[in-house]
Amino acid sequence: MCKPNEDNIRLHVYLAHAGVASRRECEKIIAAGRVSVNGTIITTLGSKVCVEDFVCVDGKAVTPEKHFHYIVMNKPPFYLCSQRDPLNRPLARDLLPSKITERLYSAGRLDFRSSGLIIWTNDGEFAVSLTHPSCGIEKEYIVETSQIIPEELLHAFFEGITIENIFYRCIKIEKITGKSVRITLVEGKNREIRRVFSYFHLHPTVLRRIRIGCVLLDGLTEGKTRSLSPEQINSLMKRGNY
């Protein structure tokens, strides 16, 4: 690697700028021994590189992106938000426009059975602004069940509930019908809504995200995509202290 220099950047930041993943995920990739610099595997977090270094992930050379993409998708249910799947389930990334040659990844995820709004990008810094809890960007969901949703669930989710030592709380929840609700989250822990509903012996038949910050589905058909507008990108960057 290059000699110490103020222009050098940390390896996980370099990888994020190369569209590999968010900074947090890039740290995990480094720790897993999947990154090499000039032929040497690097696992030390905080290592720095410069533009002259030859950086590879899983043996494939990566360089900082020159063109960023910000794509909105209406993910259908039973598609996986992952780069690969050993079970060969359908991948949401395969629904992205074929004309995009850069590697995109989802900024946040929807689980296999859930549907709705998800944003794909190769801008790691932008992804952080969407997903980090400190940025406070709201995510709004519609949840439908086959049974009446008790008031106890609404109250517990809004006030906060601890399930298996994990604390869950939404910032807003309101009934649409007896069997459907609208929920707004900020942090959005892994499978949060499903785990809260399961605690009350309910299992969503529909779990659809309809909003991320200022971005709405706006009639986007399942399986289809569109680009974020410059105004939406700027709004999300500003809200996320990008």
Backbone dihedral angles phi then psi of residue 178, each to the nearest 5 degrees: -65, -25
Residue 67: which of 25, 16, 31, 102 has the closest Cα?
102
- Percentage of the chain with pLDDT > 90? 71
CB 109 within 8 A of CB 118: yes
**Of the ranges 22-26, 89-93, 178-182, which one carries the lowest mean pLDDT score?**
22-26
Residues 6+ apart with CB under 8 A from 134: none
Residue 242 has pLDDT above 50, yes or no: no
How far, in Å, CA of 36 to CA of 14, rounded? 12
Q: Tell me the per-residue pLDDT of 119-147, one tens digit each, with 9 for 90 and over.
A: 999 887 788 778 777 778 999 999 999 99
DSSP secondary structure of 23-56: HHHHHHHHHTT-EEETTEE---TT-EE-TTS-EE
CA-based torsion, 177, 174, 200, 111: positive or negative: positive
Judged by DSSP in three states, 155 sits in: helix
pLDDT band at 166 (very low <50, low <70, confident <90, very high): very high
How is residue 78 written in tokens? Answer: 């039973």
**Catalytic annotation, pick one of 94, 111, 123, 218:** 111
Q: What pTM was estimated for this model as a whole?
A: 0.79
pLDDT at 112: 96
Q: Residue 1 above 70 pLDDT?
A: no
Of residues 118 and 128, the one with the higher pLDDT is 118
- Mean pLDDT throughout 175-181? 98
For residues 198-217, give the mean pLDDT.
97
| Residue 5, pLDDT above cutoff 70 | no
Q: Read out DSSP for 91-153?
A: BGGGGS-TT--SPPEESS---TT-EEEEEEES-HHHHHHHH-GGG---EEEEEE-SSPPPHHH
Mark whether 123 is an active-site residue: no
> In this predicted structure, which of 58-67, 111-120, 171-180 has the lowest mean pLDDT?
58-67
Structural domains for the chain: 9-61 (3.10.290.10), 70-134+214-239 (3.30.70.580), 138-212 (3.30.70.1560)
Q: What is the pLDDT of residue 7?
A: 67
Region 92-110 average pLDDT: 91
Q: Is residue 240 very low, low, confident or very high in pLDDT (cuts 50, 70, 90)?
A: low
What is the pLDDT, as a whole number, of residue 194?
97
